[in-house]
Amino acid sequence: MATDIHDQVTARIPTEPFMGMVAINLIEESLTNPRKTFNQEKLGELADSIRASGVHQPILLRPLPGSRIPDTWGFRRKDAPLPVYELVAGARRYRASLQAKVAEIPAMVRDLTDDQALEIQLIENLQREDMTELEEAEGYRALMKHSNLTAEQVAEKIGKKDQKNKGLSYVYARLKLLDLHADARKALGDGVIDSSRALRIARIPDAKLQAKALAEASRKNYRGDPAIGVREFEGWLQQNVMLRLDTARFNIVAVDLVPDAGSCKDCPNRTGADPDLFADVNSPDLCTLPKCFHAKEAAHSTALREQAAAKGMRVIEGKEAKGVVNLQSWDGHGNMLKGYTRLDSIRCDVAEGLTAAPLRELLGEGGPQPVLIEHPQSKELIEAVPTDEAEALLVQRGVLKATRTKIDIDQRINILKQQSANRQERAAMKAIYTAFLNGAHTSASPAKVMVDAELLREWLKLEVLDLDSEDILVSTGLDPVEDEDYRDTEARAAARINRAKDGELRNMMLACLVQKHAYRFGSDTGQPLVQAIARALGVNAEAIKAEAVAAEKHELKEAIAHLRAAAKVQEQTAAAKAAAPKGASTPPPAAQASASRAKSKAQKTPAARAGDSGAKTSKEHAAALIAAELSALEEKNVAPAAQGNGEQPPATAGQQGAALGVDVQVRVLPTATGKKQAPHIGKVGKILRKVGSNAWDVAIPREKRNVPMFIVFDATELQAVA
């Protein structure tokens, strides 16, 4: 189709690279741009910036390909010019410019093929700052597939080869995230796990094991934070998923142990097979496929049993094996054996001129008849020989060092005495403990024992050692002391318990019982305890609960009424300002404040009070006065910021409540002077919920236990922390 002689726009399309201002209505977006989602809020901010100062960085265009003419012809507005350029890079700047309604945009126009344009788009997309880990991985894969590139070439193209932690290992790690199963991908996208934990999960080739690892990685503590760190999670993986090949019971280079499995040294599931992906793993010999590992262990055990049967070797298993394998000991090679020695244990006590070697090698062919011992837990088949026979043979051959020395009788006796004294002490404590338990279960008057004053006194003195300062004060009825060390609080509590009368001791015990599980009172598991305590103490818990709830509801109702009254007054004030004569001017805030103060003083004089008709100030009128003062403060504080560079004045102590909210980390300020609040000055906690109109329920970690304490603070007593 020939170009119309009047189509001056198309005629001006450059054939050489060109930079200049291009009419925005001549540009069509690319269909191959990998970026499909845009943050509308940030796009609006960019549009505002473009309205103010224009586009600072040119976009990249190419002449519209002929293949795009059909899809751009039928959707243009009437009398609108045909698009002549296709957007290659800069979609965000282009869309923001459309929002800003600018006529032209700076652009670089280059003649690019479809392949060149797509490669530029992929690389530009990968260099975005706000890209998610999975988007980045998809981009790498698309770039490698489209341009037939290796991972190293991708690292060079995106400029990450020479950056710290951004080399080839970085690209491999991002690509590995594509091996995550659906649940793990969703967890990464939702922020439940971070990319470090996701990478370690993606390395696991088995989907079921990935799900197990995801459950461990996403486990939270009571504060909502990850229960374990990345290093702890890596240790968990190496214990539960990755298995050490250097300690494997089977021959790791055997190719026929399990059909189609091959040698472990050549296996792609070994960490050493992909050092760039497993750069953070210390050992090169870790298996990431436990299913195969355990299959080889089973095959090895089967082969050993067959060999043992052929040689007439005895197999020790079951109950007999439990008596041989000492599960509470370890000799460096495995659990110690009673009466037997492992053939793979290394003997270092050899005679001069010999080197340390495995017992199997030192015994040679003429050694004692070995046996197979099945480990009671791991089911490992251990080759071992009777210790006495092996030692006698080694001594007879002169393999071991001469170890006979003169016995020091006195030293041996002292050792035996010390060992006996330790055993005597343990035996005495165990006997006393057993007698106490029997007495507690069989006592004819347990109620009398439970109220024994001296028993309660000594029990309470030990109990406070396990409590936090707040619980100690609650249990013993002590007043808080500002900045008191918890050890001093424990000492005060012990002194208070020592001088307490019998009745006070029983009251303290009851207080300890109440506070012990107070944090459960709001949960379903704690309700039976609440009912039991209420019944035992004669307290109407339901009535108290209803009264507290009613008070909160009344406070909420008053707060809403005040807000509505203030809003109504603001509307009336705004209407009055709009109806005022145009020539009238509003005095400056300082003058308004002075006039307000003068008026206030005048009203306080006796004459003013006598001249008053006796009208009483209502809640609505008080709210109106508050709203008027707030309006004046807003005009005074906001106007300078609007005229300046837009920076907000520093927040005062009273304004800190603006940053508070549920799940926000806060620090307790020195303004907390209440009896329950003062001991926590300087501590950091987490807001659980809002209480009333201006108070917050904060969970503060205890010093000795993981269970938090819950304290209510006023907003002025808290400061949000990063």
| Rounded mean pLDDT for each run of 10 residues along the chain, 722 residues in total | 38 65 89 79 91 92 82 64 87 92 93 85 74 81 82 75 60 87 89 89 85 90 84 81 76 83 84 71 73 84 82 85 83 78 86 84 87 84 89 85 64 85 89 85 84 87 84 86 84 90 87 81 84 87 87 86 82 79 49 42 40 46 55 46 40 50 89 85 88 85 72 90 79
**For residues 252 and 299, what is the distance between their CA atoms, to the nearest angstrom?**
12
Helix (H) or strand (E) run with residue 8 in it: helix 8-11
The pTM of the full predicted model, rounded to 2 decimals, is 0.39
Q: Which two tokens stand for residue 261?
A: 């499995």
CATH 3.40.30.10 fits 8-131, yes or no: no
Placement of tokens 């509801």 in the chain: 553
From first CA to last CA, the distance across the chain in angstroms is 64
How high is the pLDDT of residue 284? 61
Topology classification of domain 656-720: SH3 type barrels. (2.30.30)
How high is the pLDDT of residue 333? 64
How high is the pLDDT of residue 286? 81
Q: Where are the alpha helices (DSSP H) in 482-618?
A: 486-498, 502-516, 527-537, 541-579, 589-604, 606-611
CATH 2.30.30.30 location in the chain: 656-720
- Provide the residue type at 622 as one letter: A
Per this entry, what is the length of the chain? 722
**For residues 67 and 478, what is the distance between their CA atoms, to the nearest angstrom?**
85
- Provide the residue type at 164 as one letter: K
Of 665, 652, 664, 662, nearest to 716 by C-alpha is 652
**For residues 250 and 17, what is the distance between their CA atoms, to the nearest angstrom?**
66
How high is the pLDDT of residue 669? 92
CATH 3.90.1530.30 location in the chain: 8-131
How high is the pLDDT of residue 595? 43
How high is the pLDDT of residue 453? 87
DSSP code string of 162-174: SSTT-SHHHHHHH
Q: Contact, 49 vs 88, CB < 8 A?
A: no
**For residues 568 and 678, what is the distance between their CA atoms, to the nearest angstrom?**
39
**For residues 179 and 202, what is the distance between their CA atoms, to the nearest angstrom?**
5
How high is the pLDDT of residue 100? 92
